[in-house]
Amino acid sequence: MLQTNYSPWGFNDPFADMRRLQGTMNQLFDSGRSAERSGTYPFVNFWAGQDSIVMSAELPGLAEQDIELTVKDKMISIRGTYPEPETGDDVTWHRRERPAGSFLRSIELPFRIETDHIDARFENGVLIVEMQRPEADKPKKIQIKSS
C-alpha cells in the first residue's frame, strides 16, 4: 500500500488503533515458533547444498528407533510416536507443554529420491536428512563451440 501523509481524520484517525493492532498481530504470528498453531507436525527446514537437499526437523525426546523415515518416489514421510509421559498414582502434574502422541508428515520434493543416496542422522533431538539429487536431475554444463 502506498503510504501518504494525507489523513482525512486528522489526528483522530479511528483506524489507527486497528492498524496498530493488526501490525502487532502480524508481528506476533511472524515471530516465535508456531508449534501449537497448526496441524502440521513436525516443522521442517530445507537447505540446498551443491548436489543435495537437506531436511531438518526438531524432534526432542525421541530416539532414533522411534522415528520412521520412508521414501517413495518424490515423497518423503516422517512418522513417529513420543514416549508415554510418566503415569502413576503418586504423580501430580503441574505443567504439560511438551509434544505427545504420534505424528506423520509427508513432504513432496521436486525430484525423485534414490534410497541409496540418503543419509539420515539424529543428533540432540534434531533429525537431519541429506538427500542427493539424482544424476539425471543435476544441472549439466554445456560446452559452447566456436564456429
- Up-side HSE of residue 135: CA atoms within 13 Å toward CB? 1
Q: How far is the CB of 108 from another protein (least distance, A)?
A: 12
* By CB under 8 A, residue 8 contacts another protein: no
Q: Which of 13, 29, 47, 72 binds another protein (CB under 8 A)?
A: 47
Per-residue contact track with another protein, 64 to 93, x per CB under 8 A? Answer: ---------------------xx-x-xxxx
* By CB under 8 A, residue 49 contacts another protein: yes
* By CB under 8 A, residue 31 contacts another protein: yes
Instruction: Compute CA distances 8 → 12, 18, 25, 130, 136, whole Å.
Output: 9, 16, 25, 56, 61
Length of the chain: 147
Q: In this complex, which beta carbon is closest to another protein, that of residue 96 or of residue 141?
A: 96
Q: Which of 23, 25, 26, 43 binds another protein (CB under 8 A)?
A: 43
117: cell is 543416496
Q: In this complex, which beta carbon is closest to another protein, that of residue 31 or of residue 143?
A: 31
CA–CA–CA angle 119, 76, 56 (5° rounding): 55
Contacts with another protein by CB under 8 A: the residue count is 38
* By CB under 8 A, residue 120 contacts another protein: no
How far is 136 from 116, CA to CA, in rounded Å?
Answer: 15
- Residue pair 7/13 in contact by the 8 Å Cβ criterion: yes
Q: In this complex, which beta carbon is closest to another protein, that of residue 71 or of residue 122?
A: 122
Q: In this complex, which beta carbon is closest to another protein, that of residue 90 or of residue 116?
A: 90
Of the candidates 145, 131, 127, 130, the residue with the CA atom closest to the CA atom of residue 56: 127
